[in-house]
Amino acid sequence: MRNYLFLPSLLLCVVLSYLPTYGTVEAEDSGNALIPGQAQMITISDGGIEPLNLILKKEDALALFLNDSKDSLITLDLVYEKRAAHCSSSNLAIGEDGVIRSKEPIPPKDFASTCFHDPGSYAFTIYGLKGSPAGIKGSITVE
Query: What are the extents of the domains in the chain?
Result: 2-142
pLDDT of residue 113 exceeding 50: yes
CA dist 101 and 24 (Å) reads 27
Query: Looking at the domain that runs over 2-142, which CATH code has it been given?
Result: 2.60.40.420
Cα–Cα distances (Å) from 101 to 19, 65, 91, 92, in that order, read 26, 12, 9, 5
Cα separation of the two ends of the chain: 40
What's this model's pTM, rounded to 2 decimal places? 0.73
Q: What angle do CA 110, 80, 92 make, to 5 degrees?
A: 30
Residue 119: pLDDT over 70: yes
For the chain, the average pLDDT equals 79
Asked whether the predicted pLDDT for residue 23 surpasses 60, the reply is no
Distance CA 46, CA 105 (A): 16
Using CA atoms, how far apart are residues 115 and 53, in angstroms rounded to an integer?
A: 16
In sequence order, the 6+-apart residues with CB closer than 8 A to the CB of 97 are none
pLDDT at 22: 37
pLDDT digits over 37-69, tens only?
A: 567 999 999 999 999 999 987 655 889 999 999
Reply yes or no on whether the pLDDT at 35 is more than 80: no
pLDDT digits (tens, 9 = 90+) for 1-12: 455 555 555 455
The pLDDT confidence band at residue 25, using thresholds 50, 70 and 90, is: very low
User: How many other CB atoms are there within 10 angstroms of residue 129's CB atom?
Assistant: 20
